[in-house]
Structure 1
Amino acid sequence: MTQANDYETDEAENIQAPPRRGLFRRRAAPLLPEAGAAGAPLTAVIAVMSFLAVLAMASLLMVNRATSEWTSALRSEITVQVKGASPADIESGVDAVLRVLNETDGVLEAKEKSREETAELLDPWLGEGNAAAFLTIPAIIEVKAAPALRDNLDLLRNRLTTAAPGATLDDHARWHDRLSGAARSGQAMAFGVFLLVMGAACAISIFASRAGLAANHEIVSVLHLVGATDGFIAAEVQRRFFILGLRGALIGLVAALAALVLAGLAVRAGGAADNFLPSLRLGGWMILWLAAAPTATCLVTALTARLTVLKTLSKQY
């Protein structure tokens, strides 16, 4: 009886518990165990790649938005500057210029900046209050013009010079061209960085998938013996790399968003955003565009792993 009881106890211990269902079910082990550069190291590397990709995408979007805002103002506005030897000469020249502008077709609005506003433009270079105290500051008239008028300003320029000899018209074409060229260079650089990050993600995926196949060579051989196809093995590797890539992409996205928020707060605290630097505002559409960068990194990693496995298995088997 004792031996029978011992036998039943051993059999009960050898019986495995059924897998749990629902929320607490056991996680199935991967078909190909982690090896080489897979697992936590690969997740960390993908997180760094995603972080850089999001920053590159953010730079591209911010430069594009800032350039659109700046160039739209330059395309729609022209400036008339009225010089004179005395404030009285400047005032008479302003009256003559405003009469010409009000009689010109295509002029949507003409507004003279006050003397205090004009002096504030010179304060960063001459010191606060020095321009108004020691200089005869020219008058500045901001003009909003229709596109048809901007295409041909020579007639308006001649009429203004005739009405007020000290008047000069600036259509900001030189600044528009320089700003557009600088913006295109910045956008090309940001897009180049994004492509480099995608290329680095591909290289890392190739290395990791080859290392995983080499470390699990015996398992791959057994799978082929039982009838598994190259496509099945590649799908398993792709699924594994997609999970790791998704995990790393989410970490990189969260870290990049946090860095952008902190950078925006630092720029606004320093007061540089209102003068020179583009604003760092994270709106709904911008976050969606930024989320596309880590998503692309994840997909590129998984697809590259699949193609690498298929190519490697076709040569070995």
Structure 2
Amino acid sequence: MTTAAHDDEPQTEEQPRKKRFGSGSAPLLPEAGAAGAPLTAVIAIMSFLAVLAMASLLMVNRAASEWTSALRSEITVQVKGASPTEIDASVTEALRVLNDTEGVVEATVRSREDTTKLLEPWLGEGNAEVFLNIPAIIEVKADPTLRDNLDLLRNRLVAAAPGATIDDHTRWHDRLSGAARSGQAMALSIFMLVMGAACAISVFAARAGLAANHEIISVLHLVGATDNFIAAEVQRRFFILGLRGAVIGLVVALTALAFLALGMSARMGTDAFVPAFSLGGWVILWLVIAPIATCLVTAITARMTVLKTLAKQY
């Protein structure tokens, strides 16, 4: 009976490969304990609200810029008189003075029909022309240098047309600027509150994860794992959860804003007082800041919470 030469050789088994902590399909620490999916949903909601707050801030900034730029570049001359003939004569003299003034880009007289329509909401349709000598309105586009010193132009207008007065819209400019600053402060406050809520949620979730994995953390300490190593693992898991939630919240928010922009453009048209909101390239880049901030706040807060908690317990 013959035997192979290699029968007497010892049989060797394939040695299992060593895995590093946190590598492979199973993470070293579960995703925030047993609350991975709920935490992702909450972060998605926080990201959604943060994107809406950022969009509100951008919309207020755009509206304030358009409103104030129009007020800064225009002044209004109102011409009064005892009769339409006197008003027309004063308008002619006022236009002559305006056209001869350096810094006046353009002077346009609004028609009497347009001026009458401005008074109809308060006086009723057709009543203004019957009972009043409606003043003439001259819209003037002026350089900033002329707006800074209107005293000379005002004196020349009064001398040429005694019924002429100048309105540089300073009061409206101040009011709109104040309202814009209030809107910006409110939108920024909402954004900061959302970030604060994300911090609080991350703190509670990190503490819950440490409590749920207390035995695993104890074993890690026994084999020599440092607090920084454990905190880095928790930060990595929270970053993944935060990234998932941030992407979901961003997609939902952009979809809602796209429908909002379409609705505003369809209902308000081109003559809307509020500027239309559009999702351009720069707008989307600014909006992406909100979910990125939510994701980073969640991960960094989780790391700091773990380090502080481990320093007290071990």
TM range (shorter): 0.7 to 0.9
Q: Which moved more, 1:83-92 or 1:261-270?
A: 261-270
Maintained 8 Å contact 1:83/1:90: yes
d(CA) in 1 for partners of 2:52, 2:178: 22
Residue 271 of structure 1: how far off its partner (Å): 2.3
Q: What is aligned with 1:166?
A: 163
Match of 2:220 in 1: 223
Q: Which structure 2 residues correspond to residues 13-52 of structure 1 after superposition, within 5 A?
A: 28-36=25-33, 38-52=35-49
Which moved further from structure 2: 101-110 or 34-43? 34-43
Question: Matched residue pairs, number?
Answer: 295
* Structure 1 Cα separation of the partners of residues 63 and 265 of structure 2: 15
Determine the structure 1 residue equivalent to 2:207.
210
Distance in 1 of aligned mates of 2:248 and 2:121: 43
Aligned partner of 2:10 in structure 1 is none
CA distance in 1, matches of 2:235, 2:177: 43
What displacement does 1:148 show? 1.7
Alignment match of 2:77 (pick from 77, 80, 83): 80
Of 112, 117, 123, the match for 1:115: 112
TM-score normalised per structure 2: 0.87
Q: Distance in 1 between matches of 2:123 and 2:242?
A: 55
Q: Over aligned residue pairs, what C-alpha RMSD do you find?
A: 2.4
27-36 vs 294-303, which deviates more? 27-36
1:249-264 aligned within 5 A = 249-264=246-261
Distance 1:283 1:54 in 2: 15
The question of whether the paired residues in 1 share the 8 Å contact of 2:80 and 2:135 is answered with yes
Q: Which residue of 1 aligns with 2:301?
A: 304
Amino acid aligned to 1:256: A
Tell me the CA shift for residue 125 of structure 1: 4.4
**Structure 2: how far apart are the matches of 1:297 and 1:168?**
54
- Higher mean Cα deviation, 270-279 or 220-229? 270-279
The residue type equivalent to 2:102 in the other structure is D
The one-letter code of the counterpart of 2:268 is G
Runs of at least 5 residues in structure 1 that lack an aligned partner in the other structure: 1-14, 19-25
Conserved 8 A contact 1:39-1:244: yes
Secondary structure of 2:279's match?
Answer: coil
Structure 2 counterpart of 1:149: 146
Distance 1:278 1:91 in 2: 36
Uncovered stretches (5+) of structure 2, i.e. residues with no partner: 1-13, 18-22
Query: Does the 8 Å contact 2:79/2:136 carry over to 1?
Result: yes
Structure 1 residues 99 and 246: CA distance shift in structure 2, 3 A: same
Fraction of identical pairs, as percent: 77
Question: How far does residue 221 in structure 1 lie from its aligned partner after superposition?
Answer: 0.9
1:292 corresponds to 2:292: no
Pairwise CA distance, 1:37: 6.4
Classify 1:246/1:123 alpha carbon distance in 2 versus 1 (closer, same or farther; 3 Å): farther
Q: Deviations over 1:34-66 (max 9, x none)?
A: 355631110111111111111111111111111
Shift of 1:264: 2.6
Residue in structure 2 matching 1:93, options 72, 90, 95: 90
Deviation at 1:241, TM superposition (A): 0.6
Distance 1:281 1:122, change over 3 A: farther
> Which of residues 48, 54, 63 in structure 1 aligns to 2:60?
63
Q: Residue 80 of structure 1: SS of its match in structure 2?
A: strand
Aligned counterpart, 1:277? 274
**Per-residue deviation, 1:274:** 3.6
> Would the alpha carbon gap of residues 159 and 201 (structure 1) be closer, same or farther in structure 2, given more than 3 Å must change?
same
